[in-house]
Chains A and B, each alone.
Chain A
Amino acid sequence: MLKMTHLSKVYRTEVVETYALRDFNINVNEGEFVAVTGPSGSGKTTFLTIAGLLETFTGGQYHLDGVEVSNLNDNERSKIRNEKIGFIFQAFNLIPDLNVYDNVEVPLRYRGMKSPERKDRIMNALERVGLASRAKHYPAELSGGQQQRVAIARALAGSPRLLLADEPTGNLDTQMARGVMELLEEIHREGATIVMVTHDPELAARAQRNVHIIDGQVVDLAEDPRFHHAVHSARANSPA
């Protein structure tokens, strides 16, 4: 589903070159739930934005659903983002001027979908996250957990093949975070491929596979006993 080979991302200024990713290799299979962990500034979010075609990369190759994306133009990248990828952000990134219904509708509008189909998809997605009754509410009228559920509904409405989540529970309290995580697990069980960036070992433990990034490179978890221990503890403490 997602394959990056020797990928690099360099930010250049007049005096310095900063490698956000270097010789970065990852392969995520269809239907997998992968957690990406690593310290702050390690390149997790850069990886996610490149994976989501929100940013270009400097070198290497990236195949998304079998398509090499480095030569795609803006329209083609936008189309892939719209049709194949769903985004969930730490800060929810809902549009404050639009109500819940209209927020969920945004990606469907860009797909050129007719109104009746849009309505069906929006209401289905909202029912799935338990917010159908809040369709006319504005983001400011919702709790953080509810806002993140709207963001998930927005990501789900387009039936994406790949769901990219950047610290989806980072701004939520424990209870709300658990609810969001259960929702992601449910979505995964239904067949979606999920790549989730997180700092939280407990969340990482609930993914099928963990990928650890340090200094812009994927490292083998077996070589990092501290992290291995943290994941082990989290698994032991998490509810069945």
Chain B
Amino acid sequence: MFAYYLQLGLRSLRKNPLLTLLMVLAIGCGVAASMTTYSVFRATSNNPIPQKSSQLYVPQIDNWGPDSSKDNKGEPPNAMTYTDAVNLMRDKRAKRQTALYPTAVSIVPADASMLPFRETSYGWYADAFGMFDIPFQYGQGWTAGEDESHASVAVIGKALNEKLFNGGNSVGKNINLNGRDYRIVGVADKWNPEPVFYDVTNTNGFDDPIQVFIPFTRAVELKTPTSGNNNCNHDPGKGWDEWIRSECVWLGFWAELPTKAEADAYRQYLNGYSAEQQRAGRFRWAPNTRLRNVVEWLDYQKVVPQEAKVSLMVSLGFLLICLVNTVGLLLAKFMRRSSEIGVRRALGATRREIYIQFLIEAAAIGLAGGVVGLLLTGLGVMGVSLVFEPDIAKLATLDVSLVLLTVLVAILATVLAAFYPTWRAAQVQPAWQLKSN
């Protein structure tokens, strides 16, 4: 019967092309608006590392005290001092941990015909590669021993490897960063978590894929300044040594804590560490620490732009208005066929069969609306850059999942809109219809 009802539905759509067009356009526009804004919302609210997002944590330690944190609703600073980061690394209370910070490096290609260029690099610890599940095309990350020895080693990204070594296996070769040679130990395969969860503070969650990673210890040894944010509550003094001893916060920190028990233990450790700092006279306030996993951290950092949320809500409202219009149009369309419904009921159709017939007809309208919506969503996604920042706009893509979702939403929304008109159609009393004829 499904094929029969579909055939009847398509025939009915062809019979009233103007009415059909109005409904298809209403659904298409509503779905396209909501799917376009959803594409942005989806990209910005994406879980960038779902397999481990509940195991990776950002610790925060209040090293500034209540006078400073009160401006931030009592929250500790978003980044960490060098002192705290190094102490946490030394204590190794997590399964894996890393401090990290971004630096700008000048790359001098071995090929003399290529001009030097700048890239953002990250200094972090060997644990980071395993913690963040970074895939490798060639080689691997450096070792903990190389962290300790401040080795001049580097992991480069696939794109940079293409650029410098034509995509070949460059492990063992040197790359010149800021005038110093680093031995390449690994070439990371494509790795571009969105949002850039590991450094939200400096990227606002969105940036180009990072192409150079070097040991944190080596970067610090070379007194390489951060290219990210520095926040100080007092004058840090002059020189690198003063800087790293200061209470300025500029480092990211991640700990891998696979179980809840380990996370709870780490929270206790952070409080214990803060209490220790209090006893030592560095902190003159009670411990104030936080430990947030990836999702909590992205939420706390408000990675999803406010305009993405607002535009999604507005577009869903628009879809609702379109559907209300569709309800009216479907009602008019279905009730014009009261006599047909009466005849079908007289000839043996149950109310359920009338329901099914008209819901399938609505689904056919929804499918057509979905196709129109798909075309408009394609245009909408191309136009996202008119509203959002380029870094965010480029994340909005019409991929297979969005295509399927667009069509599915169009069909489901139309079927939903058809419930009332269909219910009215199924209530048609055959006797009255046939008598009135």
A and B from one complex: yes
Residues of A within 8 A of B (CB): 45, 49, 52, 54-55, 74-75, 78-79, 81-83, 87, 89-91, 93-95, 97, 106-107, 109-112, 154, 166
Decide yes or no whether B429 CB sits under 8 A from chain A: yes
CB distance from B341 to the nearest CB of A (A): 10
User: Are the CB atoms of B343 and A93 closer together than 8 Å?
Assistant: yes
User: Are the CB atoms of B340 and A95 closer together than 8 Å?
Assistant: yes
Task: Note all chain B residues with C-beta closer than 8 A to A78.
Answer: 345, 348-350, 353
CB distance from A223 to the nearest CB of B (A): 29
Given A78-B348, A97-B12, also A49-B339 (CB < 8 A): no
User: Are the CB atoms of B348 and A110 closer together than 8 Å?
Assistant: yes
User: Are the CB atoms of B339 and A93 closer together than 8 Å?
Assistant: yes
Complex Cα–Cα for A95 and B429 (A): 17
The 5 A-B residue pairs whose C-beta atoms are closest, nearest first, are: A82-B348, A91-B437, A55-B431, A110-B348, A49-B431
Complex Cα–Cα for A81 and B346 (A): 7
Task: Note all chain B residues with C-beta closer than 8 A to A154.
Answer: 347
Decide yes or no whether B11 CB sits under 8 A from chain A: yes
User: Are the CB atoms of B343 and A95 closer together than 8 Å?
Assistant: yes
User: Are the CB atoms of A93 and B348 closer together than 8 Å?
Assistant: no
Decide yes or no whether B4 CB sits under 8 A from chain A: yes
CB distance from A211 to the nearest CB of B (A): 19
Complex Cα–Cα for A74 and B351 (A): 7
CB distance from A151 to the nearest CB of B (A): 10
Q: Which residue of A lies closest to B352 (CB)?
A: A75
Produce 1/0 per residue, B320-339, CB < 8 A to A.
Answer: 00000000000000000001
Most buried by B among A82, A94, A106, A111: A106
Produce 1/0 per residue, B353-366, CB < 8 A to A.
Answer: 10000000000000
Decide yes or no whether B379 CB sits under 8 A from chain A: no
Complex Cα–Cα for A87 and B343 (A): 10
Given A75-B352, A109-B4, also A87-B347 (CB < 8 A): yes
Task: Note all chain B residues with C-beta closer than 8 A to A74.
Answer: 350-351
Task: Note all chain B residues with C-beta closer than 8 A to A112.
Answer: 1
Decide yes or no whether B157 CB sits under 8 A from chain A: no
Task: Note all chain A residues with C-beta closer than 8 A to B429.
Answer: 54-55
Complex Cα–Cα for A94 and B351 (A): 20
B2-32: which have CB < 8 Å to A?
A: 4, 11-12, 15
CB distance from B12 to the nearest CB of A (A): 7
CB distance from A111 to the nearest CB of B (A): 7
Given contacts A93-B437, A107-B348, 5 further A-B contacts (CB under 8 A): A45-B435, A52-B346, A87-B434, A93-B342, A109-B4
User: Are the CB atoms of B434 and A89 closer together than 8 Å?
Assistant: yes
Task: Note all chain A residues with C-beta closer than 8 A to B435.
Answer: 45, 49
Given A49-B435, A54-B430, also A97-B350 (CB < 8 A): no
A-B contacts, 8 listed (Cβ < 8 Å): A49-B434, A49-B435, A54-B429, A89-B437, A95-B344, A106-B343, A106-B344, A110-B347
Q: Which residue of B lies closest to A107 (CB)?
A: B347
User: Are the CB atoms of A93 and B434 closer together than 8 Å?
Assistant: yes
Task: Note all chain B residues with C-beta closer than 8 A to A111.
Answer: 348
Q: Give which listed residue, B1, B11, B342, B345, contacts A97 with CB less than 8 A.
A: B11
Task: Note all chain B residues with C-beta closer than 8 A to A90.
Answer: 437
Complex Cα–Cα for A121 and B359 (A): 29
User: Are the CB atoms of A97 and B346 closer together than 8 Å?
Assistant: no
Given A49-B431, A97-B12, also A110-B353 (CB < 8 A): yes
Complex Cα–Cα for A95 and B338 (A): 11
CB distance from A148 to the nearest CB of B (A): 13
Task: Note all chain B residues with C-beta closer than 8 A to A79.
Answer: 348, 350
Q: Which residue of A lies closest to B5 (CB)?
A: A109
User: Are the CB atoms of B351 and A54 closer together than 8 Å?
Assistant: no
Complex Cα–Cα for A90 and B436 (A): 11
Complex Cα–Cα for A91 and B343 (A): 11
User: Are the CB atoms of A75 and B430 closer together than 8 Å?
Assistant: no
Complex Cα–Cα for A61 and B340 (A): 30
Complex Cα–Cα for A75 and B342 (A): 15
Complex Cα–Cα for A93 and B339 (A): 8
Task: Note all chain B residues with C-beta closer than 8 A to A93.
Answer: 339, 342-343, 346, 434, 437
Task: Note all chain A residues with C-beta closer than 8 A to B350.
Answer: 74-75, 78-79, 110
Complex Cα–Cα for A82 and B345 (A): 9
User: Are the CB atoms of B434 and A54 closer together than 8 Å?
Assistant: yes
Task: Note all chain A residues with C-beta closer than 8 A to B352.
Answer: 75
Produce 1/0 per residue, B367-391, CB < 8 A to A.
Answer: 0000000000000000000000000
Q: Which residue of A lies closest to B351 (CB)?
A: A74
Task: Note all chain A residues with C-beta closer than 8 A to B15.
Answer: 97
Most buried by A among B345, B347, B353, B429: B347
Q: Which residue of B lies closest to A106 (CB)?
A: B347
User: Are the CB atoms of B12 and A82 closer together than 8 Å?
Assistant: no
Task: Note all chain A residues with C-beta closer than 8 A to B345.
Answer: 54, 78
